[in-house]
Amino acid sequence: MPIAGKGMLLTSMDIEPAHAEEFNRWYDEEHLPRLLEVPGFLSAGRYVAVKGAPKYLAMYELEDHNVLRSTAYLDTVKYQPSPQRTKVGTSRIGRNFLRNLYRQIFPVHTDPIEQTVEMAPFLGSVGVAPRRERRMTFSQSPEYLGDVDLPALRPGATVVLPVNVDGALVSFGDAHGAQGSGEITGAALEIEADVQLTVTAREREVMALVAAGLMNKQIAGEMKLAEITVKLHRGNVMRKMDAKSVADLVRMADMIGIAGKS
């Protein structure tokens, strides 16, 4: 059975008959729509056992099994329960709850064209406007990136770019389906692509507050986030900036102009 993505989440549970009507109404009218708003959740369906247990089963098709580690899922669903979920969610009234996450192992690819070409899609051009106004048809620079043709700019990649002019003027395109380590000879498979670009200042805000000397609990209060979400953002910042210590991060924040606020 072909699926839309490369991940699958299955949950099953038993619910006491006295709570079943309210539980099913919450699941169908609030919980499923909320999950389907999270990027990477492609579809969802619920089932009831003909016989045996657990009685209820929910299946979710995921773009990738790492969706459950995304900040969108953690911030809007897992660590931000609604009042109704707190009242009738599976952790409150469910029994025999099972939750399993799967990654696709066969077939290896989900698109027919990928059966003949090993696809590794990425964006060949990502950048912002340079400091000085100029005209150019082909340009690359550590200052603003540009038409760099780097396979590392693949789905899920994080790029930290400076803001040189008001509005940043972010540009991206030149989608590639496959390429070697460089497009020196022009040998690459260029494709049409629908791209979702997420621009966020949240990790930048966490970095500024860490640089200001705030602890995770204080940052959580300042940003109105769960403390565990702050830990996730802080870990992402340390990893992306390749900082070995808080002192390293403070020094880097100063170098790129992220001033700690107290």
Residue 260 lies in a domain: no
Query: By C-alpha distance, which of 12, 26, 89, 24 is closest to 54?
Result: 12
Q: CB–CB of 262/213 below 8 Å?
A: yes
pTM attached to this predicted model: 0.46
Q: The domain that contains 70 carries what CATH number? A: 3.30.70.100
Residue 96 lies in a domain: yes
Tell me the three state secondary structure of residue 141: strand
- The total of structural domains in the chain comes to 3
Q: Cα separation of 11 and 82, whole Å?
A: 19
Residue 114 lies in a domain: no
Q: Cα separation of 135 and 59, whole Å?
A: 52
Residue 20 lies in a domain: yes
**H runs (alpha helix) in 192-245:** 202-211, 216-223, 227-240
Q: Given a cut of 90, is residue 241 above it in pLDDT? A: no
Same domain, 172 and 215: no
Q: The domain that contains 207 carries what CATH number? A: 1.10.10.10
Mean pLDDT, the chain, rounded, equals 82
pLDDT tens by residue, 37-65: 999 999 999 999 999 999 999 999 999 88
pLDDT tens by residue, 110-130: 555 555 567 788 888 888 777
In the sheet that 41-48 helps form, which strands lie side by side, from edge to edge?
Answer: 41-48, 56-62, 7-15, 94-103
User: What end-to-end distance do the CA atoms of the chain give, in Å?
Assistant: 55
pLDDT tens by residue, 165-193: 776 778 888 888 887 666 555 677 788 88
Q: Tell which wins on pLDDT, 29 or 78.
A: 29
Residue 261 lies in a domain: no
Structural domain including 245 reads 202-255
Residue 262 lies in a domain: no
- Of the three residues 164, 179, 198, the one that is the final residue of a domain is 198
Q: The domain that contains 132 carries what CATH number? A: 2.60.120.580
Residue 109 lies in a domain: no
Residue 29 lies in a domain: yes
Same domain, 140 and 186: yes
